[in-house]
Amino acid sequence: MPHLTLTVLDVASIQRYIFGSNRLQENVGASELVYRATHQWAFKELPVPHNVLDVGSGELDDALHIEAGGLAAEVIYAGGGNTLILFADPVEARSFVTRLSATLIQEVPDLDLVAAHVPVDWEGQPLGDPEVGRVRAVMDELERVKRTRTTSAPLLGVGVTTACESTGLVAVTEQAQYGYSVSAGVSAKWAHAPVAEARLLHLLPQIEAQGLDVPRDFDDFGRSEGEKSYIAVVHADGNGMAQRVRAIADQCADPGPGNRDYVEAMRSFSSRIEAASRAALSATVDTLLTAVSKDKLSVSEQIEIRDRKLPFRPLVFGGDDVTFVCDGRLGLGLAARYLQAFEEETAKVKIPAFACAGVSVVKTHYPFARAYGLAEELCSEAKKHARSMPDIDFSVLDWHFAASGLLGRLRDIRDGEDE
């Protein structure tokens, strides 16, 4: 009876890491680094043989089963913010994390990756049982590690060092394009921004096919007088995904063959949701492109396109959640179109689902971390409304227009406006 090790990888403080800068290229590069840390770089460090057919795409070989012997590692899935892997040897599981950590220290020194391990008796312990399953155990262990780990304090420098203009940490170089001082971590974000752009344009080839490009700076969304000085930050998230995952666990709560059923069901669910989410994003872009005038200079003859840069830029995509930035006047329409497309695309892959979205419309140079936090809070408000009517399945959109600064929590502001 095989005794295996279940390992989970997760990036801590992911929102602060990705959205903590007011420079779009740093946000884009940070998102790409998180993706690569839990996908390509993780796959490259797996012991062989494993079930990853292509490290670049993350395609998995469903015919290879670790419990049958012959595999050193099997990726269950990578998505939704974490990566779940089975190892045949507990020593190899820890060596894998050591190798991956060394890679990340070199490539992206300020990314906080956390890992946890639990043993699995394949024939005697269920993976999926929501109460006593080993997946539940490794997620609990991950939370314990996050709470108790000792984080290293960054070196703040001495009197002769220069501070990074984005983080305040010790600068190690100058950003080539703009000439400002950056830390090693920010330098890594800039270095991977072009990689992120290539991956995005591979996903959305219709942008280049129409002779357009993507924004690389928040000013590319428009910064003239009036409405054009606003951007919209849209955060969308699928409804009831935790309940769907629990339902899979309930159906595959037995050890042995039930564990294989769980692996296959979770892998299928994860891949279909990701495919539907990306297709919905592509459909949203198609809708926007149909409104671009033939001379490529405006959207619906009202919103100027500067330097042929489409005023739309996804930052996080994959899994059931998406975050994108666009011209402020497009925010509500594109968010509604994404929710509609998400419903359509999930129905196509036989897992019909709905989603909620929050849209924060703010000045172009409003602190971006706060703008994203507002969009996330608005999405949570939308989900509360959706849960208030459990007998009806529908998507919900909530938004807030911040004409000036935003002080206090969203609920307090709205309560004050109602009085």
Domain boundaries, the chain: 3-148, 220-418
Q: Are 107 and 188 in contact (CB under 8 A)?
A: yes
The answer as to CATH 3.30.70.270 being correct for domain 3-148 is yes
Q: What is the pLDDT of residues 365-376, one digit of tens each?
A: 889 999 999 999
Q: What percent of the chain has pLDDT over 90?
A: 64
Confidence bin at 346 (pLDDT 50/70/90): very high
For 315-344, the pLDDT digits (tens) are 998 778 999 999 999 999 999 999 999 999
> What's the whole-number mean pLDDT along residues 170-198?
89
Average pLDDT over residues 8-18: 90
Kindly report, residue by residue over 81-104, the tens digit of the pLDDT: 789 999 999 999 999 999 999 999
Angle, vertex CA 9, rays to CA 8 and CA 12, nearest 5 = 130
Lowest average pLDDT, out of 37-41, 230-234, 240-244, 381-385, goes to 240-244
Question: Taking 90 as the threshold, does the pLDDT of residue 201 lie above it?
Answer: yes
Q: Is the pLDDT of residue 71 over 60?
A: yes
The terminus-to-terminus CA distance of the chain in angstroms comes to 66
* pLDDT band with cut points at 50, 70 and 90 for residue 227: very low
419 has a pLDDT exceeding 60: no
Q: What is the DSSP string of 164-211?
A: PTTTSSB--EE-TTT--EE-HHHHHHHHHHHHHHHHHHHH-THHHHTT
The per-residue pLDDT for 222 is 63
Q: Note the pLDDT tens digit of each residue in 120-134.
A: 999 999 999 888 899
Helix count (H) and strand count (E) of the chain?
12, 15
Quickly state the pLDDT bin for 137 (edges 50, 70, 90). Answer: very high
Q: Is the pLDDT of residue 152 over 70?
A: no
Which superfamily, per CATH, for 220-418? Reverse transcriptase/Diguanylate cyclase domain (3.30.70.270)
